[in-house]
Amino acid sequence: MELPPGFRFHPTDEELITHYLSKKVFDDDFTSVAIGEADMNKIEPFDLPSKLGEKEWYFFSMRDKKYPTRMRTNRATVSGYWKATGKDKEIYRELTVALSKIACNRLQKELMEWQMNPPTGFKHKATDNLQRWVIEVNGAPGTPYAGEMYQLQVDFPEHYPMEAPQVIFIPPAPMHPHIYSNGHICLDS
């Protein structure tokens, strides 16, 4: 399927992650008309402009490690290499839905309870956003996580408590079969 004439693909960083990258991570069969798949180690950087004619391109590509036991990415091609440019930046998902009055009242009471009497091993980090909490969790004694401290991000939906909050680990997430490397928690067994 080809893109219609005049179509321009200019997603925000948040849109790329939310609508494309996260879907690809969790579903290998996910495809997009606007984002192709490419083995970047087999394509020379100087060949792309002549093939695409745009200034910015988007591809799904598997990461190739430079060394099997290390995290460095192999950027080499047959006659050159891909150069990483720019600075890394954190990308946040903006919560655009306002809390209902019931949810707001409930969360204010629960936040006060968390601050006055937090569960053992948990600590609420101060934030200005009632809808997004950051919780520090100490690893349980007698487990491989003992002595470690992790952070959870808890996003409350508009109709809380009738809808469950979304909870993810803020990377680095603990190594566990039910926790994805991006911090999302698998609730299926």
Question: Which residues are identified as catalytic?
Answer: 186
Cα angle 136, 141, 142; round to 5: 140
* Nearest-angstrom CA–CA distance, 159 and 105: 11
Please provide the distance, in angstroms rounded to a whole number, between the alpha carbons at the two ends of the chain.
37
Beta strands in the chain (DSSP E): 36-37, 59-60, 122-125, 132-138, 149-155, 166-170
53 Ramachandran zone, left/alpha/beta (phi>0; psi -120 to 50): left
CA–CA gap between residue 167 and residue 151 (Å, rounded)? 10
HSE value, Cβ hemisphere, 13 Å, CA-based, for 58:
16
